[in-house]
Amino acid sequence: MELEVLSTAAQIAVALAGFAGVVVVFRRGSVHEWSPLDKFRLRLLLSNSVLPLAYALFAMFLLAMKPPPESTWRWCSGFAAICQIPFAITSIRRTRTLSPTDFKDVRKIVFYPLFGLASAVLLLQFYNLAVLNSFWPFFAGIFVHLMGAMVQFVRLVLVLPAKD
């Protein structure tokens, strides 16, 4: 069952990354002409698509071993935590480059709620690594990233482009 869930998550992640291309094509101007806020949103969309894809592929790799390691979900949670920490650091750093007006828009609706949820899931990865060795905490990390990607996609499509 886990393999089917991971395969579906990987397909969703690839689709969301593809939607980023659709957004870029239908927006006016090249990405280099976009406002820092819109570039930040695009980076979040891509990162939140690529990371769950990487997590799912790593897990599928471990499950493909015969027999799969008994500590598969510990390894997967460790891999996810190793990837999530630099993502969180770079996301925080990028928010500091935004203007106060842009960051006010980001933090209220998206950044703080998703960052809080992602922080809880990161702690859950460490707990799974140390104690649980279960699939669901690892999948929670995939779920949160995919939700973040969907939020960014919707915002990029529905919210008017930000002004410089």
pLDDT in tens, 64-118: 999 999 999 999 999 999 999 999 999 889 888 888 877 776 666 677 888 899 9
164 confidence band (pLDDT: 50, 70, 90): low
* Mean of pLDDT over the chain: 90
Task: Give residue for tokens 């799912």.
Answer: 56
* 160 SS3 class: coil
Counts for the chain of helices (H) and strands (E), in that order: 6, 0
The token pair at 86 is 């630099």
How confident is the model at residue 78, as a pLDDT? 98
Q: How far apart are CA 130 and CA 74, in angstroms?
A: 7
How confident is the model at residue 141, as a pLDDT? 97
C-beta of residue 6 within 8 angstroms of C-beta of residue 60: yes
* Residue 29 φ/ψ region, left for φ over 0, alpha for ψ in the -120 to 50 degree band, beta for the rest: left
Over 90: is that where the pLDDT of 162 sits?
no
C-beta of residue 146 within 8 angstroms of C-beta of residue 19: no
Over 90: is that where the pLDDT of 41 sits?
no
37 confidence band (pLDDT: 50, 70, 90): confident
* 1 SS3 class: coil
* CA 116 to mean position of chain CA atoms: 13
Q: How far apart are CA 56 and CA 11, in angstroms?
A: 10
